[in-house]
Amino acid sequence: MGSALQSLDYAVFLLYFVIVAGYGYWIYLKKKSGENTANDFFLAEGSLTWWAIGASLIASNISAEQFVGMSGSGFAMGLAIASYEWMAAATLLVVAVFFMPGYIKNRIFTMPQFLEKRYSPLVATMMAVFWLLVYVFVNLTSILYLGAIAVSTISGFSFTACAVGLAIFAIFITLGGMKVIAYTDVIQVVILVLGGLFTTYLALDLVAQQFGSHGAIAGLSLIRDQAPDHFHMIFEKGDKYYKVLPGLTVLIGAMWIANLNYWGCNQYITQRALGAKIETARSGLLFASFLKLLMPIIVVLPGIAAYVLHQKGMFQQEMLNAAGEVKPDRAYPVLLNLLGPGLKGLSFAALTAAIVASLAGKANSIATIFTLDLYNKYVDKAAGEEKQVRVGRWVIIGAMVIAVLVAPQLQKLEQGFQFIQEFTGLISPGVVAIFLLGFFWKRANANAAMVAALITIPLGIAFKRYMPDVPFLDQMGYAFAIIVALMVAISLADPKSKDNPKAMEVDTSMFKTSQQFAIGAMLVIGVLAALYIVFW
């Protein structure tokens, strides 16, 4: 089959676009009378249900980074890369129980706002600028880059045309504010889950056909038989990919630092729950945790199936880059090109849904931090609600333009998912240390937080330069330990920290959950335990 989309594929994709855009516009019109309030535009305060919060979390998280990048890592190393998804399910429970009560009780709406209340305006401003640079030049750009590669490979349109088209689609959704984003994300999640599961089914069935059988169950059994080395969750020392996922580090080590940074200290993610009541926020996070258990079926198994098909002799040329090397990130787009008319359109819509939802969520977070934490404090303190919304919209457009211009520079990447994880690993230790001590240790002071913020990237770079053989997750763990030790020493050296007026009031009753949440959390933990026992 050719790589170009057929008329039926375009019809399916157009139907998806009309549904999402139309639903978003309907929500926009419904909220138009109150749209000019900043809290409504940036946070949809009090108007999101638990299922909208959970779906929006996953829609914003699952993007080309997972569909393309994680499938590529599945092609290269197998099921072990699913640790990022399955351990995230456990992390979401921790954030729901221990982080959300502190944010919501103290009416924290942005991460810099937490830093200002807990430490100082200087720490908050420095981190706000830092987050903006990372969100725009790393996260938003990499999402657009990987998304444009996938869409270009499937549709046949140029990389530039696809990047511009995705950016415009995302802007259309984002300009309506967080409520439009969150509720259109519900549709996006339904599409990406159904389309993703269907793609996985067809990939496994194709494997079965290559070996004289049929059906996804037979295909799953065959890929386990044909690629047994791709079904180990825990790598041992000496394994080719130990440096990427070093053994037990994924269970009891720095994988937790990476996940706590992403799910607990990240404006892009926490923003969806910050405007809700604690019970609603926790239920949304629990729902997202269940969805996380499902994600490796959608984003990792197709990569493993593509590996087995490639070993069988299929799409040998399609997997090669210009230098004649096998490029794992091509696995998912190439696999989609094997689908028939209509089916390819459904999977293409699922992939586009994931990309656009992530772009929209990231752009909204960029606008929120810039407007509330920088513009409203240092440029125009008297800016009214309507002006804040207007500034936020211009920031969204500006961020997307930058991403479109910078994205082509990332084309030298081998595995996009690993690039994003390793870059984020430079900043995660400092951010998590600042937030954890800020939440749970009253003596942590502003000087300690400032030092942590300033040294986290230089420390990470030093580890990469002078200890290159140490896995990057372990480097992250060592950096975290050093930063925590420094923060403790600096805080203890200040006698005023004994009666720190900035300390957060932590009441143990804040961490008590409902019975329904406790039952759901135990189910998630039980499933995770079973998965790691079976695929150890």
Whether residue 157 is contained in a domain is answered as yes
Residue 529's pLDDT band (cuts 50, 70, 90): very high
User: Residue 458 class from Cβ within 10 Å (0-12 exposed, 13-18 middle, 19+ buried)?
Assistant: exposed
Span 376-386, mean pLDDT?
80
pLDDT at 148 over 80: yes
pLDDT in tens, 218-242: 888 888 888 888 998 888 888 888 8
Whether residue 279 is contained in a domain is answered as yes
CB contact at 8 A, 187 and 19:
yes
**pTM score:** 0.84
CB contact at 8 A, 352 and 13:
yes
pLDDT in tens, 247-260: 888 888 888 998 99
Residue appearing with tokens 């194709």: 206
SS3 334: helix
Whether residue 188 is contained in a domain is answered as yes
Amino acid at 195: G
pLDDT in tens, 170-207: 888 777 776 777 777 777 778 778 878 888 888 898 88
Residue 1's pLDDT band (cuts 50, 70, 90): very low
3-state secondary structure 252-293: HCCHHHHHHHHHHCCHHHHHHHHCCCHHHHHHHHHHHHHHHH
220 CA to centre of own chain: 27
* Residue among 189, 185, 155 at smallest CA distance from 170: 185
> Hey, how many other C-beta atoms are within 10 angstroms of the C-beta on 515?
7
pLDDT at 277 over 80: yes
Whether residue 27 is contained in a domain is answered as no
DSSP string covering 375-444: IIIII-TT--HHHHHHHHHHHHHHHHHHHHHHGGGGTT-S-HHHHHHHHHHHHHHHHHHHHHHHHH-TT-
Whether residue 132 is contained in a domain is answered as yes
Q: Give the model's pLDDT for residue 87.
A: 93
Whether residue 110 is contained in a domain is answered as yes
The CATH number assigned to the domain holding 106 equals 1.20.1730.10
Span 339-368, mean pLDDT?
80
Quote the tokens at residue 202: 């067809």
Beta bridge partners of 320: 326
Whether residue 340 is contained in a domain is answered as yes
Under DSSP, the state recorded for 376 is I
Span 152-156, mean pLDDT?
76
> Domains in the chain: how many in total?
1
User: Residue 525 class from Cβ within 10 Å (0-12 exposed, 13-18 middle, 19+ buried)?
Assistant: middle
Q: Which domain holds residue 91?
A: 7-19+48-415
For the chain, report the end-to-end CA distance as a whole number of angstroms. Answer: 38
Whether residue 480 is contained in a domain is answered as no
User: What percent of the chain lies above the pLDDT cut of 70?
Assistant: 91
CB contact at 8 A, 371 and 42:
yes
Residue 433's pLDDT band (cuts 50, 70, 90): very high
Measure the CA–CA gap between 123 and 114, rounded to whole angstroms. 10
Backbone φ and ψ for 147, nearest 5 degrees, come out as -65, -45
User: Residue 480 class from Cβ within 10 Å (0-12 exposed, 13-18 middle, 19+ buried)?
Assistant: buried
